Amino acid sequence: MADVQPLIMQAAQQLNNIDQRLNQHMLDTNERFNRIDQQFDVVNRRLNRMEGRQVDINEVLCQAYNQGCGDGTQQPYKTSPFRLPDGGTEIPETVGLPALQDARSIETLLNADLNTYLLRYNIPHVGNLNRSTKVRRLKAFLGCTRRRL
């Protein structure tokens, strides 16, 4: 029995050493995962900023394109998507709004649709603006610079 006691003590010491190394390895691994999480957060923030810039660029491109379309009767306008709070976008037609393909389609919008476009594009329209001012603001946002002939 005396011969077994030192072997048990030695095995217990080895197990203790293994346990300590495993604990240290877990701490190191957790630290690495924390650093990786931080790096992913940085990358996600950068991607979100890039997506926002892409929406900005698309908006400007649509405006520039529409300016070259005159009143839109020969070449239809391109509609900018709505910006969503989460950074995404939404095409107006997918939420039941009429397409804005030319100056006439903007000028003949129902008041409710006109107000929805202004709201969703974040175009200021508070107060008692008359219809022609609202239409003019929507046209300016979309890049429609010419009046219908």
In the chain the first and final C-alpha atoms are separated, in Å, by 110
Task: Give me the sign of the Cα torsion angle 116, 119, 122, 127.
Answer: positive
Domain boundaries, the chain: 1-149
45-89 per-position pLDDT tens digit: 998 888 888 888 999 999 999 999 999 999 999 989 999 888 788
108-149 per-position pLDDT tens digit: 999 999 999 999 999 987 677 899 999 999 999 999 976 544
Among 112, 83, 119, 88, residue whose Cα is nearest residue 98:
112
Q: Residue 72's pLDDT is what?
A: 93
The whole model's pTM is what?
0.70
Instruction: Grade residue 40 by pLDDT with cuts at 50, 70 and 90.
Output: very high
Q: How many CB atoms lie within 10 A of CB 2?
A: 5
Radius of gyration, alpha carbons of the chain: 31
Whole-angstrom distance, CA of residue 119 vs CA of residue 134: 11
